[in-house]
Amino acid sequence: MKKTVTSIRCVPRFGYDYAQVRSIDLDLPEGWDDDDLRTALTHFFAYRSIADAVFAVEADDDGFFAIINDEAYQHEWGEALF
């Protein structure tokens, strides 16, 4: 199965002071959809022992993004965009 590395924006659900927009790279199957993205995100955070990080997967003019529960931002992951 061919996979594609895709950069996904992760935005905080509420935006507390310690939470910022971050970006992560995921390996997704060719022709992926939002369900595949949610599964990959869940595995990404589970691998880092961060439970229940993904609140929702949405899309805007810039593509898909993940809404992440603010508690997950107390851990090291991803690259801050701002």
Series of mean pLDDT values for 10-residue runs along the chain (82 residues): 80 90 93 92 96 94 94 93 77
Q: Which stretches of 1-82 are assigned E, i.e. beta strand?
A: 3-12, 22-29, 54-60, 63-68, 79-80
Q: Which of 36, 44, 41, 43 has the alpha carbon at shortest distance from 55?
A: 41
pTM for this prediction: 0.88
pLDDT of residue 8: 94
pLDDT of residue 17: 85
pLDDT of residue 1: 59
Interatomic CA distance for residues 4 and 76, integer angstroms = 24
